[in-house]
């Protein structure tokens, strides 16, 4: 399958939290149609309205779509799972029949648990959250990406989002489209991370990155390769 790169219709499942809204703004600025998904319609409506305001302030007069997760994913070319790992199983159960064949699914999910000051990697039976998604959504083309880009950096629209983003996925065409979507966010560089069997490495590494960021009091810490 060959995709048109842009514009895409991008649905953000759980697009109401930290990571979803700034990704929606960045991709809307690049000319894509974005849809905010939530378990609750009213919450999706409220967040989408706020993002339209943000986009207007940034000089971009566009509509931000919204709906419950089940509805927005059915409309999308690309679906991004901006939900915590603990919600993944229930979300997949709710959405597995709603995602169209051939949909590009992006997982930025880091299987992590915060318990007070403690940060812990969650053991995933499939090795990675991305592989769980791929197993449960055989009709989709699943890639893992954006784990190491902090929401606070993405949401600071005055600052460049510098850094490298490792993109893993078994379908080379899906990986190429995913990398292009990453690079629609100015200054981010997508790095081909190979197959989905490598996703656990970037998910686990991000837990370390978060711990280092905490120690250095830099929650926006990212990564950059020296090439
Ligand atoms: N925050 C970051 O800086 C960052 C950076 C890189 C990657 N990530 C990854 O991106 C994902 C989203 O991060 P986030 O910080 O945006 O998460 P979040 O703010 O904690 O949650 C995002 C949304 O997920 C939905 N949600 C929460 N619990 C859920 C559950 N049990 N079942 C289904 N949906 C649930 C909620 O939406 P509704 O209530 O509207 O349904 C919530 O607004 C995570 O997996 C994280 O590891 C985050």
Residues 28-33, mean pLDDT to the nearest whole number: 97
Residues 72-98, mean pLDDT to the nearest whole number: 98
CB atoms under 10 Å from CB of 119, counted, come to 14
Distance 91 CA to ligand 1 centre (A): 12
Residues 150-165, mean pLDDT to the nearest whole number: 94
Question: Residue 160: its pLDDT value, please?
Answer: 86
Residues 129-137, mean pLDDT to the nearest whole number: 98
CB-ligand 1 contact for 222 (6 Å cutoff): no
CB-ligand 1 contact for 45 (6 Å cutoff): no
Residues 6 or more apart whose Cβ sits within 8 Å of residue 1? 102, 141, 173
Give the mean pLDDT of the chain: 96
Distance 222 CA to ligand 1 centre (A): 19
Confidence of residue 219 (pLDDT cuts 50, 70, 90): confident
DSSP 85: G
Question: Residue 175: its pLDDT value, please?
Answer: 97
- The answer to whether 100 and 139 are in contact (CB under 8 A) is yes
Confidence of residue 5 (pLDDT cuts 50, 70, 90): low
CB-ligand 1 contact for 147 (6 Å cutoff): yes
Question: Residue 4: its pLDDT value, please?
Answer: 53
Q: Is the pLDDT of residue 3 over 90?
A: no
Residues 167-191, mean pLDDT to the nearest whole number: 97
Considering only CA atoms, which residue is closest to atom 47 of ligand 1? 110
CB atoms under 10 Å from CB of 216, counted, come to 9
**Domains along the chain with CATH numbers:** 9-215 (3.40.50.720)
Distance of alpha carbon 99 from alpha carbon 78, whole angstroms = 10
> Coil, helix or strand for 104?
strand
Distance 146 CA to ligand 1 centre (A): 13
- Among candidates 146, 148, 155, 150, which has minimal Cα distance to 25? 155
Distance of alpha carbon 202 from alpha carbon 196, whole angstroms = 10
Considering only CA atoms, which residue is closest to atom 43 of ligand 1? 17
Question: Residue 6: its pLDDT value, please?
Answer: 64
Question: Residue 130: its pLDDT value, please?
Answer: 98
Q: Which residue has the tokens 């905010």?
A: 36
**Residue 21: Cβ-neighbour burial (10 angstroms; 0-12, 13-18, 19+):** buried
Question: Residue 117: its pLDDT value, please?
Answer: 87
Distance of alpha carbon 99 from alpha carbon 76, whole angstroms = 8
Considering only CA atoms, which residue is closest to atom 36 of ligand 1? 14
| Candidate from 13, 14, 39, 106 with most ligand 1 atoms within 8 A of CB, to mutate | 14
Distance of alpha carbon 146 from alpha carbon 125, whole angstroms = 22
DSSP 100: P
CB-ligand 1 contact for 22 (6 Å cutoff): no
């Amino acid at each position: 399958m060959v995709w048109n790169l842009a514009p895409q219709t991008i649905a953000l499942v759980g697009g109401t939290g930290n990571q979803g809204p700034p990704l929606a703004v960045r991709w809307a600025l690049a000319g894509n149609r974005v849809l905010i998904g939530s378990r609750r319609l009213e919450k999706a409506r409220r967040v989408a309205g706020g993002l339209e305001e943000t986009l207007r302030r940034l000089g971009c007069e566009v509509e931000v779509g919204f709906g419950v997760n089940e509805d927005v994913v059915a409309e999308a070319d690309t679906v991004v799972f901006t939900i915590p790992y603990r919600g993944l199983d229930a979300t997949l159960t709710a959405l597995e029949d709603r995602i169209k064949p051939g949909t590009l699914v992006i997982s930025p999910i880091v299987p992590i648990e915060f318990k007070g000051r403690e940060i812990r990697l969650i053991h995933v039976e499939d090795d990675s959250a991305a592989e769980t998604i791929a197993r449960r959504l055989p009709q989709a083309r699943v890639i893992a990406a954006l784990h190491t880009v902090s929401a606070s950096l993405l949401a600071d629209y005055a600052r460049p989002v510098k850094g490298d983003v490792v993109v893993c996925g078994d379908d080379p065409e899906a990986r190429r489209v995913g990398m292009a979507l990453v690079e629609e966010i100015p200054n981010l560089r997508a790095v081909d991370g190979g197959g989905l069997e490598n996703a656990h490495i970037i998910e686990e590494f991000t837990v370390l990155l978060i711990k280092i960021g905490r120690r250095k009091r830099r929650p926006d810490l990212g990564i950059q390769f020296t090439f």
